[in-house]
Structure 1
């Protein structure tokens, strides 16, 4: 497990309190089950697709992304953030406000996304208006009740200070 924290820039707020978490190979045995495992652990309102090729973030919900097939290079935290390579079986948990975009991917890249408690989510972009609106929203997002990969006892809960 790796964690990444990102500073805000003038267009992307990121999250001032919570780090992004990467579980490398969490679903290596059966990456196609990512969406079902997220749902079983209380992360719902799920979808299967890809990742936008532009910086975006969700200011009103945390998000989990599970790579079901293929691989990709993602940029987290904006241009000054970090490039992360992900492949089938990897899981990325992004706290509300964390910018992300796809840089490159294989043709078979598919990812499952979900949100704690099935929260509705917005999609904000790197604009001054979105940045201003997001600043008041991010701090109001409730912490999840469970880790999307490991359930009620997962390491995300400790990293995010839910079960210290």
Structure 2
């Protein structure tokens, strides 16, 4: 487990919850891998959370690719797993597609979305921002329609690094994702 209080990393303070989502209408979700919410992945008052998440994701082979908000329309990524680190404010995000589960995220939290998991920004505080990371070698897409059977098979076969994006060699990716493959 990686701890670096200088950057707000303290894996011992991080709590997480994992849950599975069933396919819903045109959103496949992921039948093999759970969604994971990391609470207090970084200490909210530890300084520049965007830079800290970028360092953390890079260290764990989930390099950050952008900083921004979350789209306010339902979509999913079929070609990459995604981790979102909340760097400012809070928001409610619908996970799983239209009519899905609403989760509240705060600065310092992270959301791990296996490929195929629908997500949409429902409401947010001013200045809400996330940093997004993806496994090295995976390029994200934006999907708003059902996958073909071949695309679904390719999505379910996507590899990912053997490290958890937050806790490195520990955490839910090691506990839940690796045994599922």
- 1:66 corresponds, among 69, 85, 91, to 85
Match in the other structure for 2:7: none
**Inter-partner Cα distance in structure 2 for 1:113 and 1:53:** 16
Deviation at 1:136, TM superposition (A): 2.6
Which protein is bigger by CA-based radius of gyration?
2
Maintained 8 Å contact 2:57/2:63: yes
Partner of 2:172: 155
Q: TM-score, normalised by structure 1?
A: 0.90
Per the normalisation by structure 2, the TM-score is 0.82
* Structure 2, unaligned runs of 5 or more: 1-15
Query: Please, which runs of 5 or more residues in structure 1 have no aligned partner?
Result: none
User: What is the aligned partner in structure 1 of residue 42 from structure 2?
Assistant: 27
Please show how residues 99-118 of structure 1 align to structure 2 within 5 Å.
Answer: 99-118=118-137
Contact 2:64 2:131 in 1 (8 A): no
Q: Quick check: 1:75 aligned with 2:94?
A: yes
Q: Deviation digits for residues 43-83 of structure 1, max 9, x if unmatched?
A: 01521101000111111111000000111100000123200
Match of 1:15 among 24, 30, 37: 30
Change (3 A) 1:155 1:140: closer
**1:39 is matched with which residue?**
58
